[in-house]
Structure 1
Amino acid sequence: MAKYWIELILLIWINLCIILTIADDNTVDILPSSSLDSLDNDEIIRVLTNDNESTTENFTSELLLNELKNTVQKFWSTSVILKADKANPYYEKFADKISIETQRLLEIVPGFDPGAGNVSSSCKKHSKIFQRELKKLSLWALKMYDATAKMPSGLLNGNVNQFGDFDECLSVEGSEGIRGKYCLAFIQLNVDQSRPDLKHLHRLVQSHYLFKNNYTDLGHRIPRFGTIHWAVCIPEMCTANDVEIALHNTLEKYVDGTGINFTFRVEREMCQVQNTKSLPRETIIVGLFFTGLIILSISAAIFEYYNVNVSEIILAFSLKRNYLKLVSLKQSNDDIPTLHGIRALNAFLLILGHKSMAIIFIPFINRTEMSENLGHPWTVIGRAASLYTDPFIMLSGLLTSYSMIKQFNNNGGIDVKKEYISRFFRLVPTLIALILFCTYILPQLGSGPMWKLVINHHAENCKKSWWRNLLFIHNYCGFEKICLTHTHHIGIDTQLFLFSPIMVWLIYKWPKYGSIILGGLAIISTGLRYFVAYYKELNTYVYFGASTQQLFDTANFSYSLPTHRLTIYIIGIFIGYLLRIYPKEYKMNKFVIKLGWIFSSLATLSAFFGPANMGSINYIYKPHHGAIYNAFAPIGWCAIFAWIIFLSHTKNTNAWISRFFAWRGFIIWTRLSYAIYLTQFPVFFYNVGQTRNPHHFAFIRLIVNIPELSFIIITAVILTLLVDMPFQNIKYYLLRRKREVTVINKANKIE
């Protein structure tokens, strides 16, 4: 019985809230207060129950509860109707005044007519209803009008991207089944090039052309900076093509005969309605998969805690075991401590570089001011983002060489099969988990004006080409079509790794001739980078006025190709070889050490600050600038790190920079680095997709976003504990078991 009384109290409270809400809105007097004063208790109950004969004497609490439920439903349906405001209930009473007020409002702030021009018949029909109800000031039509972007202030400061009110638009439910549809139109603003006055204004509006693009360029990975994003709220029956036609007809009358013209593009995917569909079956299945991983990890930890006799493969998922491994500061005798700090530094810089690209998607009220600030030399930290991946390639070559030469010394050869299996377990499971999450889970976790552009577009790419990622050939398939474009580095590294046994064997077997061959390959790779960048006019440095197409071409023809990244990988192989052949107590000449510091420091500083002039707001692109940077900057940037690694490992330095990079705490970052690399772009794009209004640009606050960085680390920790480390444990278990079987077989043969 207590349950019924609790429900009764809750329902009475809900009724009171609804009645008060309706009273506050002053929309319709359902039951005037004067009538309430004249009703006694029995009459109130009869009103609530619609029973003219029943009284309180035979009315049980259970019956009252059921009747109150029906009352709540009636009140709720009434409130929904009132909220929807299918028509203005006061129009007939104040028709003349409303007409005057509407006319004045639309004269001051003209509304967008989605039915303008030769649009479809259904769009034309619903647009007429919208226009009719707007003139009557019906609330739903006012919301649709209100949610559409209007001419803002600050146009000369770059405040041209207007998202309107996304949520208000999608909430519209109007007359005759009309629902709101939110469309984000892409508008290209052009001016008469013979008019210097208009050109100057155009430059300010377009924020000094930080990036140049056409409105037809893809915008899911590199922002359409030069394209205006303008939101319109329209009836659901209108299509993207209808919006293009209506925009053309609306703006043509304002710009006809001027030196200004517009071109439009409205993509079907960028028109959104309120999502009322249930979750896709694939999302549910993938969600169950991740739920199963969590349950398995917790269960394995419980099994391990209570010493339950289960398979070692199940215990590999133990949260307790993997957490202790993650936070452990133990280092093996064969470890190279400075590698962890170098990896952490470049990973942090890479996050800042990637973040600087992601924020360009966001609309800013002071975008022109932002561009002027980004024209200073210090912004090289974001523009040189391509450099920060090169040390990872060098470290990959170094560790591969360092490990394989040890096998040559101990066993006289390399177990290539074991190396490839180890690489598979290191990369593939975590990559699969990320692809599944970003393809089927992430698109369901939010919404926003650009959500489908930066989230759903990547998900659709993954549905088509996920298998290329797992074969590590996705970096050859066009940067525009890659599933999770930031994973191109994994393809490059794996392809170089496949040929690493040959390269290591050459330098180990014939050090002199092997060095000549590898050195020749490095020179050829450097030459390729130079000539391709020069003749195709590419540039890995993001300079002022770089076009979207040029950035895509740079990625496709140079940056994502292993032949163009081979130089750095070979440098890593050489360093790994030197660390093996020179003892840890090897003493170098002090003069040589000083000379090495000077040259490596100058090379690194030249690579980092040398192209700073290309970041100037007035820079004019020259192909040989881009070619020199593309060819030699990676080598220069990695020089200081290579020198620190060699000196520290051979104990020829104890400088502060060496001690800093060798700090033991960086080993935790190393364990997280793969997951951090994978998760940062989904986090960045999630926040971009959720953006609903223009921001004010402040560099430090936006770039060093502590909550965002924290969330990247948290997601990386989760991915590492649930997927990365468990499969690493499985790898070690399988390889150890294989060695044990091999030893037993050898012993049996001897017997």
Structure 2
Amino acid sequence: MCSSRLLTLLIGARNNQVWAFRIMAANGYVTPNVFEGSLGAMGGYSQCVKTRNLDGNLRGSYCTTYLTLPRHLIAELEGDFQKYGYMLGRRRLDALDKAPVWGYTGLRMGLCFLDGCTEDELTYVLRSLLGDFGLNATVVSCETGEARPWLWRHTLITVFGVVSSLLVFTGTAADYKRLKKPAELPVTKATDAPEKRILPSPAPRPSRITEFLLCFSLIKNSRTLFDIRIRDKSLTFLFGMRVLLSLWVVYAHGFLLSKYDNVDPGFSLYEIQTRLSHNLGLGSSYLSVSSFFFITGFLIGYSILRKATRIQKKNLPFYCLRQYVRRYLRLTVPLAVVLMCFLMSDLVTYGAADNKADFYKREFDSCVSHWPSILLHYMNFLPWKNHCLEETWYVATEMQIYVFALPLTLVLLKSRRAFLSITLLVVLSSTAYTMYATWIDDLHPALSFGFPSLNKILRTAEIIYHKPWSHAPTYVMGILCAYCVVHHGKLRLSLVSQAILWWFSIMLTISLILINTVWNGAEDDSSIAHRRALYAFYGSSYRTLWAIAKFWMVYALATGRGGILFRFYSWQGFHVLSKLSYGIFLCHYPILLIRIGRVSTPYQLDLFILIRDGLGRWVLAIAAATILHLFYELPAVNLERFFGRRNSGARPVNGHSHKKMESSSAPEKPLQVMVVKTPDESKL
């Protein structure tokens, strides 16, 4: 079949057939800017898949081909070019050590052929033709532009979406009807004195079914989302912090997860990394993750310590179990919805672009086969090639740390000395493990893409970065900060002492960010003095040092010492967005993957484009997170409270739970208020 297709194409070209010219011209031949690091000659995807002959029995098929050059040829080329100052350091031809789990290796070329040949057949043909020259070719991801077929998982996800939408619509309608219903006044008797004024009766209690439906009401949930009232105004600064950190994460992922074989020119990746602006934002973006862990630990500790007396009276094992279930549901429900949406994304990516051969396809296939790792939060212990929705390693790690941090915080209620001993043990053991692993395995100091060795980057992520014990010090330092705020928030500090602490915090923050220039600006590892010692020290200590830098800042802001910085972070515009920060984090990554899967041409990469794309993804993530929050996240919280009230025997009255009113068996009567009679104004 394939040999006949090849013969048909050659005959068509000889006879000057238009369809044959379209197919041959759609191939990616020579990679543009190949000596400037570009790895992809993508060809013409649209032209290829839209090609048909007059009878319609021949059509174009676009495939992705990876071509690897022999090592001796690379060495000879490098030797010739290095005489003229090219291909030195990072700019060597073999510098981009592309990990096999990341995708296929070699030059990426678009192959347009007639439909009818399998990927294995085309691979055999190309290897037969190019094998004598020492070249090796692999053909993958052939498609004809047709849409993805409808599968059983699409049906199940669609049914879930329809049912949830119907619940939201029904709940909204019930809420609207309830709000529009006028308040009923009790009928007054003819013998009642005019001085007696009768107030409206309390609103009747909704039925259980109505209460259940109101959990899904868009009216109720929108009010909750846009309600900016807060009881403890000392923590309003966290709103601005969470919003800006989410923007930092979204912006950085656009660079860290770029398809390197689509960047033109490829060396622009290295040129960006050497700039100071890169190290201030992209190169140090992993610190935003440490900030999130610190803030989460602070909030957990603060919420427990403020209610210490009430919590100590409870059954602590049952309390922990209930908190685990609540935490699991609040993390997992929106995550499951995002996972289902991503599993539908093949309907919009297949047949739309040619960039699905490795990165997007690997993520999508992992989600199809390893989706339980997402819902059970153990994905960070799987090999990188089996990760689904890569950024959700954070959710799994946070849940795992929470299992340990909750009882640790309860220990703090009993014994401060025991808590400090455990905290010190956690910090020292995590530091020792990270230092040992970084030194022995020669890993990167952080998950920074300053060097092009993707194998080393992925090993760093698997061994250190994705594991809970690496981030536990930052988490427990946040709990310790909460303890200082609750129990020592009124500590008197002179203005000089505060100025010194602010100076120390700012200088330590700047140092941890700018030290990235040492390896991001170097030509190669060998040019860095005492490289392994520097990597081991920084990689093992930066999380704890970053927590120390944030310790005073959060303490000062929470105890009224923040000044203008507190007012900036507490801006009301951040309040609503901060409620969406978790949804923004979950939604931005599938948006990025879909964008990668739909790219059909090489793209330029510079700071302006990164900022533009990052802001665009952030806005799209906000829109998606709003829908996620209103349709799924808040209903899940409402259902949790609904069933919690049912178990406790309390029911809401006018939106509030009153156990005393529920336990009363006397029938309700209209509330009457006697008003003192005043003189008739008409007689004055």
- TM-score per shorter chain, which class? 0.7 to 0.9
Check if 1:472 corresponds to 2:377.
Answer: yes
1:291 corresponds in structure 2 to 162
**Equivalent residue for 2:484, pick from 554, 578, 588:** 578
Q: Secondary structure at the match of 1:306?
A: helix
Partner residue, 1:367:
266
Match of 1:228 in 2: 107
- Show the counterpart of 1:423: 327
Aligned residue in 1 for 2:539: 630
Larger displacement relative to structure 2 (339-348 or 600-609): 339-348
Rounded Cα–Cα distance in structure 2 between residues aligned with 1:200 and 1:719: 57
Task: Tell whether 2:352 aligns with 1:352.
Answer: no
- The match for 1:34 is none
Corresponding residue for residue 13 of structure 1: none
1:252 CA drift (Å): 5.5
1:153 is displaced (CA, Å) by 4.6
Q: 1:663 aligned to 2:562?
A: no
**In structure 2, what is the Cα distance between the partners aligned to 1:340 and 1:305?**
31
- SS of the equivalent of 2:388 reads coil
Matching residue of 2:305: 405
Name 1:266's counterpart in structure 2.
139
Q: Secondary structure at the match of 2:448?
A: coil
How big is the shift at 1:213? 5.0
Q: For 1:611 and 1:677, how far apart are their aligned partners in 2?
A: 25
Secondary structure of 1:720 counterpart: helix
Percent of aligned pairs sharing the same letter: 17
Q: Which string of whole-angstrom CA distances, capped at 9 and with x for unpartnered residues, describes residues 39-76 of structure 1?
A: xxxxxxxxxxxxxxxxxxxxxxxxxxxxxxxxxxxxxx
**SS of 1:372 mapped into structure 2:** helix
Q: What TM-score, normalized by structure 1, do the two folds share?
A: 0.76
Distance 1:523 1:304 in 2: 54
Question: Cα gap change, 1:457/1:513 in structure 2, threshold over 3 Å: closer, same or farther?
Answer: closer
2:453 paired with 1:554: no
Give, in angstroms, the shift of residue 296 of structure 1: 2.5
How do 1:181-200 residues align onto structure 2 when only pairs under 5 Å count?
Answer: 181-189=61-69, 190=71, 191-193=73-75, 196-198=79-81
1:362, distance to aligned residue in structure 2 (A): 6.3
Matched, 1:527 2:403: no
Shift of 1:517: 2.4
**One-letter code aligned to 1:428:** T
Q: What SS does the aligned partner of 1:230 have? A: strand
Query: Cα–Cα, structure 1 residues 179 and 207, in superposed 2: closer, same or farther, change >3 Å?
Result: farther
Deviation at residue 691 of structure 1 after TM alignment: 1.0
Describe the superposition over 1:523-547 as per-residue Cα deviations: whole angstroms up to 9, x where unpaired: 2112211111111111124254342
Deviations 1:171-226 (A, max 9, x none): 23347944322111122334342662145799659972699555661226xxx7x7
Paired AA for residue 596 in structure 1: L
Contact 2:23-2:60 at 8 Å conserved across structures = yes
Does the 8 A contact of 2:360 with 2:596 survive in 1? no
Higher CA-based Rg? 1
For 1:40, the equivalent position in structure 2 comes to: none
Matched, 1:604 2:509: yes
The 8 Å contact of residues 98 and 453 in structure 2, kept in 1 or not, is answered as no
Give per-residue Cα distances to partners, 1:231-270, cap 9 Å, x unaligned: 00122222223333333444467xx4xxxx5433333xx2
Higher relative contact order (CA 8 A, sep 6+): 2
Shift of 1:510: 1.3
Distance 1:470 1:573 in 2: 26
Residues 198-217 of structure 1: pairs in structure 2 closer than 5 A: 198=81, 208=91, 212-213=95-96, 217=100
Please give the residue correspondences for 1:375-524 in structure 2 after superposition, counting only pairs within 5 Å: 375-380=274-279, 381-412=281-312, 413=314, 414=316, 415-439=319-343, 441-446=344-349, 447-524=352-429
Structure 2 contact 37–91 (Cα < 8 Å) conserved: no
Distance in 1 of aligned mates of 2:594 and 2:449:
26
TM-score by length of 2: 0.83
Number of the residue aligned with 1:151? 30
Contact 1:401 1:577 in 2 (8 A): yes
Unaligned 5+ runs, structure 2: 180-205, 652-657, 664-684
Q: Does the CA-based 8 Å contact 1:607-1:634 persist in structure 2?
A: no
Residues in 2 aligned to 1:604 and 1:688: alpha-carbon distance in whole angstroms: 33
Which among 197, 203, 226 is matched to residue 327 of structure 1? 226
Contact 1:372 1:617 in 2 (8 A): no
Q: Does 1:123 align with 2:26?
A: no
Q: Is the 8 A contact 2:242 2:578 kept in 1?
A: yes
In 2: Cα distance, 1:202 partner to 1:241 partner: 41
- Secondary structure class of the residue paired with 2:580: helix
- How far the C-alpha of 1:484 sits from its partner, in A, is 1.2
CA distance in 2 between counterparts of 1:339 and 1:555 reads 28
Mapped contact 2:237–2:557 kept (Cα < 8 A): yes
CA distance, structure 2, for counterparts of residue 403 and residue 369 of structure 1:
47
- Contact 1:358-1:688 at 8 Å conserved across structures: no
**277 and 731 in structure 1: CA distance in 2 versus 1, 3 angstrom threshold:** closer
Question: 1:159 & 1:641 partners in 2: Cα distance?
Answer: 40
Q: Secondary structure at the match of 2:100?
A: coil
Judging changes above 3 Å, is the alpha-carbon distance between structure 1 residues 216 and 137 closer, same or farther for their aligned structure 2 residues?
A: farther
Are the equivalent residues in 1 in contact too, given 2:45–2:62 (CA < 8 A)? yes
Q: How does 1:54-93 map to 2 (within 5 A)?
A: none
1:633 partner SS: helix
Please tell me the root mean square deviation across aligned C-alpha atoms, in Å: 2.9
- Secondary structure of the residue aligned to 2:525 is coil
Which residue identity lines up with residue 347 of structure 1 in the other structure?
S
Residue 727 of structure 1 corresponds to 636
Matches within 5 A, 1:93-132: 122-132=1-11
* Cα drift, residue 356 of structure 1: 0.9
**Most deviating of 730-739 and 209-218:** 209-218
Deviation at 1:587, TM superposition (A): 2.8
For 1:642 and 1:493, how far apart are their aligned partners in 2? 19
Tell me the secondary structure at the aligned position of residue 270 of structure 2: helix
Amino acid in the other structure paired with 2:239: H
**2: CA distance between counterparts of 1:666 and 1:211?**
46
Is the partner of 1:501 in helix, strand or coil?
helix
Q: Which string of whole-angstrom CA distances, capped at 9 and with x for unpartnered residues, describes residues 642-663 of structure 1? A: 2122112222x24322322222
Query: For residue 586 of structure 2, what is the aligned residue in structure 1?
Result: 678
* Structure-2 separation of matches of 1:205 and 1:265: 28
Q: Distance in 2 between matches of 1:251 and 1:306?
A: 73
Q: Which runs of 5+ in 1 are unaligned?
A: 1-121
Q: Is the 8 A contact 1:319 1:721 kept in 2?
A: yes
AA partner of residue 153 (structure 2): E
Counterpart residue type for residue 431 of structure 2: T
CA distance in 2, matches of 1:547, 1:298: 51
Q: Measured at CA, do residues 700 and 403 of structure 1 come closer, stay the same or move farther in structure 2, by a change above 3 Å?
A: same
Match of 2:152 among 281, 284, 305: 281
Contact 1:149 1:163 in 2 (8 A): yes
Count of aligned positions: 613
1:626 CA drift (Å):
2.3
Q: Hey, which of these two has a bigger chunk of helix by percent?
A: 1
Distance in 2 between the 1:532 and 1:196 partners? 35
Q: Could you tell me how far apart the structure 1 residues matched to 2:645 and 2:232 are?
A: 20
Corresponding residue for residue 473 of structure 2:
567
Query: What are the residue-to-residue correspondences of 1:309-328 with 2, within 5 Å?
Result: 310-328=209-227
- Following the alignment from structure 2 to structure 1, what is the Cα–Cα distance between the partners of residues 661 and 171? 34
User: In the TM superposition, what is the alpha-carbon distance from 1:332 to its structure 2 partner?
Assistant: 2.0
1:719 shift after superposition: 1.2
Residue 627 of structure 2 aligns with an amino acid whose one-letter code is I
Matched, 1:690 2:598: yes
Shift of 1:398: 1.3
SS at match of 1:431: helix
SS of residue matched to 2:235? coil
